[in-house]
Amino acid sequence: MKRTQAVVLLFFVLIAGCKAETGGELSLKAAAPNGAEQALIVQASGEREEEGSKRAFQTPAIDENSAYRSVMETIERIAVRAQEARNDAKEQTSALAGLDRALEASGSWISVELKRNIRFNAADAYAAIGEYDEAERTVETIDDAFYKASAWAKIAERYAEDGKNGQAGDLLLRCVDILKTIDHAADRISLVRIMTSAFFKAGDVEGGLRLADMIKKEPLLQSSEYYWPYYVSIYERAAVHAERFGETKLADRIFGKLVELTNSLPDGFVLYDKESYLAGPTEDGGGVIGSFASIGAYERCRELIGLLESELVIVKAWKDVAKAAYLQGDTKEASQAIGEAERKLGRMKDSDSYKIAKRFVDEYRSMTNPS
């Protein structure tokens, strides 16, 4: 397996949770080439855009791939169950034993590359249930600098989520040292993306952005539809965390940079265009607007919706903001947002997309006024 394929496999399949399909392929589904509006129309009509919407990575033999999937699913299932019962000592003991068995199941006949993925995820699972010593011991068994640093960064993120910012900082210093030794551009970009998330969760937004500066001139960012959104998403998460921490001036500065980067998304990308990146490539939520709506940053949402051009996508974005506001108990903001969606809908009656846009509004009304 080529190195770049392995990196994309790790971050799109293992972290994003893409599912393995039959025939031994791991696939990535993208929005249709015509952008966010076309993607919404395709979804609504039940059609599928095959050409240009799939990136597949062939793994080794099917038996190995099946075993790999089984181990990965076991690790995920154990971690989720143990997190839900984190104060249950019996459940934690069972989870530890299960994770140990899952690691043992990745026998010598599974390829080195896939075994690194398994150990990366197992380390994160140990940390997710609070077993940090076991997580760190698992990381020490990883024999590749990129995978090891990625695992340290994920554990640092877990420490930050638990309010243990000192421990998170110590691990991130290790990651920075390793990052300086990595020559492969795709590895550096992917590692920085994980590391910045840990910096942000630990409350060091500016530290995370300084780290992002280390990759901003990478030629791969401008030429790859996979990696450019990685870089833009760093600023999205930085702005969201700055808003959450109440650092208004910093949030303003980062938000301005985010808008600049979003407007500069290269033309011709299959996975992302500006509108699908902002509003999300699916019918329900997602995108940068969804991120800000989820923390109640509605003024930011208004600014971002102002960058959209498609009437259908605008209606969808306002519906998402209304839904987020409603679920957060902000009925005034929800009413204003759905009102904006309805006003835009009223100007679409002669449009081919009118029925789809109306359905978005109707779905919101059904959710808030069930009968």
Distance CA 168, CA 297 (A): 27
End position of a domain, from candidates 81, 112, 143: 143
Q: Is 235 a residue whose pLDDT tops 60?
A: yes
The count of residues in the chain is 371
Helix (H) or strand (E) holding 55: strand 54-58
**Residue 9 included in any domain:** yes
**Residue 158 included in any domain:** no
pLDDT of 29? 28
Based on the domain organization, do 343 and 221 belong to the same domain? yes
Based on the domain organization, do 224 and 341 belong to the same domain? yes
Long-range contacts of 337-342 (CB under 8 A, 24+ apart): 337/298, 337/301, 338/364, 338/365, 340/305, 341/314, 341/315
Give the relative orientation of helices 185-201 and 227-244 as an angle to the nearest 10 degrees: 10
One-letter amino acid at 32 equals A
Q: How confident is the model at residue 282 (pLDDT cuts 50, 70, 90)?
A: low
Distance CA 193, CA 150 (A): 10
**Residue 114 included in any domain:** yes
Distance CA 241, CA 197 (A): 10
Q: What is the pTM of this model?
A: 0.70
Structural domain including 229 reads 216-371
Based on the domain organization, do 4 and 136 belong to the same domain? yes
Nearest to 240 by CA among 218, 255, 261: 255
Based on the domain organization, do 123 and 267 belong to the same domain? no
End position of a domain, from candidates 111, 143, 175: 143
Start-to-end CA span in the chain (Å) = 54
Q: How confident is the model at residue 61 (pLDDT cuts 50, 70, 90)?
A: very low
Tell whether the torsion through CA atoms of 148, 154, 158 and 163 is positive or negative: positive
pLDDT of 219? 86
Based on the domain organization, do 224 and 371 belong to the same domain? yes
**CATH number for the domain including 290?**
1.20.58
Distance CA 330, CA 205 (A): 27
End position of a domain, from candidates 87, 111, 143: 143
